[in-house]
């Protein structure tokens, strides 16, 4: 009913005119000699935590730190693909090995920790998802200019896991880091494969009460990014 009426009104309006042209190029966005350093600075500025994960030992330390901070015993992983993509060693994937202390000293408290490593959200009820503490996902890419990562859905990956848990860990590969937002938007193809993507910059926040900043509203309160090779 409304569609033809609206389109007809618009057609009549545009007939006589010449449209101002669309600018042919986007203005320059900043470039950085050390994009990783820029990413780290910006992430920390918005109260995110940057962790080096360029080898398996560092990844282990990073995860140890996350679990300590969270006082949690479990990390819920988005999918199996994450491990291969980020070079996460098989020992970390094997709960038995982890429990036997193969990665941590025998006196380390983490030895008591259970680490179910291949938890996919569809195996669990909404209730479980609502109650989990730490989630981990693989970022499709990142933007150095603002310390941003891109979370994306895919076959075997949904929208909920990265947003429900109060603590979220995102793995990002160095090679997937864009210099700035203009680069990102000119190169990304929205909607080709994923129904949903979200640019995430730090933990959730609000300033709705007296413009006072409060972290952790509906999305995660703690946001870690582990940069892998």
Partner 1 sequence: MIEIRPQIRSALADSQLQKNLRLTLSKTAAGRRQAIAEVANWEELRQHARQVKAHTISRLGEYLELLEKNVIAQGGNVVWAETGPDALDFIFQLALEKGIRKVVKSKSMLGEEIRLNEELERNGIEPIETDLGEYIVQLGHEHPSHIVFPALHKSKEQVSALFADKLGMPPTDDCEKITATARKVLRRHFLSARMGITGVNFGVAETGTIVVVENEGNARLSVSVPEIHVAIMGLEKVIPRAEDLGVFLKLLTRNATAQKISTYVNLINGKRRPGELDGPSEFYLVLLDNGRTRILADEFLRQTLYCIRCGACLDVCPVYQTIGGHAYHSTYQGPIGAILTPQLLSAEDAPEHPFASSLCGACQEICPVKIEIPHILLKLREKVQDQKSARAGRLPLERWGLQAWSWIMTSPGRYATTNRLARGFAKMFARKGRNPVPPLSYWTKSRELPVLAPKTFRELFEEEERKS
Please report whether residue 33 would count as binding partner 1 according to CB under 8 A.
Answer: no
Shortest Å distance, C-beta 179 to partner 1: 11
| 185 lies in the site for partner 1, by CB under 8 A | yes
User: 224 pairs with which residues across the strands?
Assistant: 49, 169
Which of the residues 144 through 183 are near partner 1 (CB under 8 A)? Answer: 145-146, 148, 153-160, 163-164, 180-182
Q: Does 38 bind partner 1 (CB under 8 A)?
A: no
Kind of pairing between the strands at 148-152 and 141-143: antiparallel
Looking at 61, 91, 118, 120, which residue binds partner 1 (CB under 8 A)? 120
Distance, in Å, from the CA atom of 184 to the CA atom of 194, rounded to the nearest integer, reads 16
5 near partner 1, rule: CB under 8 A: yes
* Shortest Å distance, C-beta 221 to partner 1: 9
Q: Which stretch binds partner 1 (CB under 8 A): 53-61, 64-72, 84-92, 116-124?
A: 116-124
Our measurement of the distance from residue 56's CA atom to the centroid of its chain's CA atoms, rounded to an integer in Å, reads 20
Contact segment (CB under 8 A) with partner 1 among 33-41, 56-64, 84-92, 199-207 equals 199-207
Q: Is 84 in the site for partner 1 (CB under 8 A)?
A: no
Q: Tell me, what DSSP letter sits at residue 93?
A: H
Binding-site member from 37, 54, 217, 229 for partner 1 (CB under 8 A): 217
Angle at 223 (CA atoms; ends 157, 220), nearest 5 degrees: 70
The gap from C-alpha 49 to its chain's centroid, in whole angstroms, comes to: 12
Distance CA 132, CA 152 (A): 20
Instruction: Enumerate the β-bridge partners of residue 178.
Output: 143
């Amino acid at each position: 009913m409304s569609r033809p009426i609206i389109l007809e009104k618009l057609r009549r309006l545009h007939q006589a005119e010449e449209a101002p042209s669309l600018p042919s190029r986007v203005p320059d966005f900043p470039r950085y000699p050390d994009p990783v350093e820029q990413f780290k600075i910006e992430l920390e500025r918005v109260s995110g935590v940057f962790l080096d994960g360029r080898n398996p030992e560092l990844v282990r330390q990073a995860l140890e730190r996350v679990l300590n901070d969270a006082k949690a015993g479990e990390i819920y992983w988005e999918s199996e693909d994450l491990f291969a993509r980020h070079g996460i060693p098989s020992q970390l994937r094997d709960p038995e090995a982890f429990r036997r202390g193969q990665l941590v000293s025998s006196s380390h408290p983490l030895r008591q920790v259970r680490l179910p490593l291949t938890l996919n959200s569809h195996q669990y009820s909404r209730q479980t998802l609502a109650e989990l503490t730490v989630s981990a996902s693989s970022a499709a890419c990142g933007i150095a200019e603002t310390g941003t990562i891109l979370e994306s859905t895919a076959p075997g990956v949904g929208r909920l896991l990265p947003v429900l848990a109060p603590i979220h860990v995102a793995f990002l590969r160095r090679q997937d880091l864009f210099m700035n937002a203009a680069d990102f938007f000119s190169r990304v193809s929205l909607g080709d494969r994923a129904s949903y993507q979200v640019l995430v910059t730090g933990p959730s926040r609000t300033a709705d009460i007296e413009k006072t900043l409060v972290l952790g509203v509906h999305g995660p309160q703690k946001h870690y990014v582990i940069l892998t090779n």
